[in-house]
Amino acid sequence: MSSHPYRGSFAHFAQVVSRATGRPAAFLLAAFVVAVWIITGPLFHWSDTWQLVINTGTTIVTFLMVFLIQNTQNRDTEAIQVKLDELLRVTEGAHVALLDLEELGEAELEAIRRNYLKLAAQARQVLRTGGTDTGVPDMA
């Protein structure tokens, strides 16, 4: 498997922009733009157009960044999910039925969650009585 697998051009663009805008230099650039805007206020007599420039600019940037950030987060989440799935797959005794939990409906997911809540409660009870909470307990 290649260390740099093919990525779609939007995904690549989103990742590059997301990394670039998350750096201190991007913040400093944005702060500089705001400072210039504030300094130019008296030159434009604090006009409605002067105010509209910053409002429109920030709205457009925010609107576009939402999609770029969401794309980056979606890919990161999928990558983490695949890594977790691999850990489950190679762990002896793991419940491989958990591999696709994110695809389950709310009721099915809640039923599985309740089973794990029961296990946690049982483990805490064992700890209170001086026992240990290590091991691989059976699912009820």
Of 21 and 2, more confident: 21
Within this chain, do residues 26 and 92 fall inside the same structural domain, yes or no?
yes
Within this chain, do residues 45 and 86 fall inside the same structural domain, yes or no?
yes
Tell me which residue range forms the domain holding 136.
104-140
Mean pLDDT of 7-17: 85
- Residue found under tokens 């989440």: 77
DSSP 8: -
Nearest to 13 by CA among 63, 58, 75, 62: 75
Per-residue pLDDT tens digits for 30-83: 999 999 999 999 999 999 999 999 999 999 999 999 999 999 999 999 999 999
Per-residue pLDDT band at 6 (split at 50, 70, 90): low
Within this chain, do residues 91 and 114 fall inside the same structural domain, yes or no?
no
Question: Cβ(78)–Cβ(122) under 8 Å?
Answer: no
Average pLDDT, the chain: 90
Q: How many domains does the chain have?
A: 2
Please state, in angstroms and rounded to a whole number, the distance separating the CA atoms of residues 121 and 123.
Answer: 5
Within this chain, do residues 40 and 92 fall inside the same structural domain, yes or no?
yes
Question: Cβ(140)–Cβ(118) under 8 Å?
Answer: yes
Ranges of H-type helices in the chain? 9-21, 24-39, 48-90, 106-128
